[in-house]
Structure 1
């Protein structure tokens, strides 16, 4: 299984978090994968066999081109054959800002790219599913985004979300309000409309995902990780970890080569 992931060029860092690719190299062995929240929506283009998805307790066949909204809990994916995926992990405010996605309606949803969104992204889709190399796909799609955002003015409120991400979720809403001169209700409305989650819940996801970066830095020392990730105590940390993964942190396979760990890499 090939896993590749790269960051965009710095000029697009406020638009794109990363590009990634998964390729099973012709292996069609059926595998069920758990997917864990990381706080980022994604455009995903399948150019192998489709996947089945189980978010709300039932299995459904995915479309080949999809937009994944914010997720609040883990869910499951299962391939139906050979896996070939190219994806763009977007900054959390971008689906609404650039493509008009109604983020509250796609929370815990994976929707097909169709209609006006497909018309906008048709060139990107064609590049993503083509036979050119991963690096060439990235380069050509970066060029497309350069042209697409040339005359677009993004709302500066996304700085609030950037700050929350930069602080690994360990910043109070009061601090954000004071630093960016934004009222409580305005902050709540912005997150609901542009992110699809309340700010407190989004901060919890970002703080949780930071755990995976800390684990990769050195030998696991849970007391140190609990402190550095900003949890009140170990029981608070364990409860949060179990909520987002369904597993105890001491039993979770951080070293396993799977989709969840790959997508949570910093």
Structure 2
């Protein structure tokens, strides 16, 4: 499986985390675990489609998808050789750019081909065909730069900045203070623009920080627990298992898979 991360134009830093592509010639089904990273995605599959499994049975996906925030892990399985193009968006971007209420898409992967928003439903027609990554980047940059001129303001921008700068360790009181909003109003806006409460979203970003600490190679588990803001090792393990379904001692951090590609942020 070959992944490529493509940086978006600097003018899109408020809206786009990255673009990415993935190709695999593997014909045999293989199960991938997807774990929360705090970003939403628009995904366009031009190879075989995937099956997905959350808490229910396996379901065959459609080729073109909107993936909202996820609160826990789920599984994907290929049905043959695959190839994908995707846009990984900043947490409030889909609401700002397309006026979506993101709480409606929490833990959901929806079909873009039948999506009620015409801009998103026809985005695949703008992307395909493309000859190489340079052209793909130019197509996507041009499209989103034109969209961001009419984007709405982000009323939770300061709170999101605090969450990221503190690696998810800011207190609720600190988030309320920087937002200059009441607690209930902040929670309503987070659910509208992000899909999750500010406290739960912070948990995801703090969980992500574990992967960055592990990249230093010289952190012990006890130091990682301390630096990532957990009360003790049991608290750390409970949170890790909630997002991955696994004990951290059993998780394959170096394995080349979809989850680690994004959480490790190794390829740029």
Q: Scaled by the length of structure 1, what TM-score is found?
A: 0.94
In structure 1, the residue matched to 2:239 is 240
Cα deviation 1:143-201 (Å, max 9, x = unaligned): 11111222333234223112212211000111121123111111111111111111111
Unaligned runs of 5+ in 2: none
Between the aligned partners of 1:204 and 1:115, the Cα distance in structure 2 is 30
In structure 2, the residue matched to 1:18 is 18
Q: How does 1:132-147 map to 2 (within 5 A)?
A: 132-147=131-146
In structure 1, the residue matched to 2:44 is 45
Q: Scaled by the length of structure 2, what TM-score is found?
A: 0.93
Contact conserved, 1:124 with 1:141, CA < 8 A, in 2?
no
Unaligned runs of 5+ in 1: none
Between the aligned partners of 1:265 and 1:123, the Cα distance in structure 2 is 32
Q: How does 1:220-235 map to 2 (within 5 A)?
A: 220-235=219-234
CA RMSD of the aligned region, Å?
Answer: 1.6
In structure 1, the residue matched to 2:76 is 77
In structure 1, the residue matched to 2:110 is 111
Contact conserved, 2:115 with 2:121, CA < 8 A, in 1?
no
Between the aligned partners of 2:95 and 2:192, the Cα distance in structure 1 is 8
Partner of 2:208, secondary structure, is helix
In structure 2, the residue matched to 1:9 is 9
CA drift of 1:216 comes to 1.5
CA drift of 1:52 comes to 0.3
Cα deviation 1:36-93 (Å, max 9, x = unaligned): 0111110010000110000122111111110101111110000001110111110111
Between the aligned partners of 2:262 and 2:128, the Cα distance in structure 1 is 20
Cα deviation 1:245-265 (Å, max 9, x = unaligned): 111111110011111111223
Q: How does 1:180-259 map to 2 (within 5 A)?
A: 180-259=179-258
Cα deviation 1:98-127 (Å, max 9, x = unaligned): 22223222111100113443x313664135
Contact conserved, 1:177 with 1:183, CA < 8 A, in 2?
yes
Contact conserved, 1:164 with 1:171, CA < 8 A, in 2?
yes
In structure 2, the residue matched to 1:86 is 85
Between the aligned partners of 1:159 and 1:8, the Cα distance in structure 2 is 22
Partner of 2:57, secondary structure, is coil
Cα deviation 1:215-266 (Å, max 9, x = unaligned): 1222451111111111111111111001111111111100111111112233
Structure 1 stretch displaced more, 145-154 or 81-90? 145-154
Partner of 1:17, secondary structure, is strand
Between the aligned partners of 2:157 and 2:224, the Cα distance in structure 1 is 28
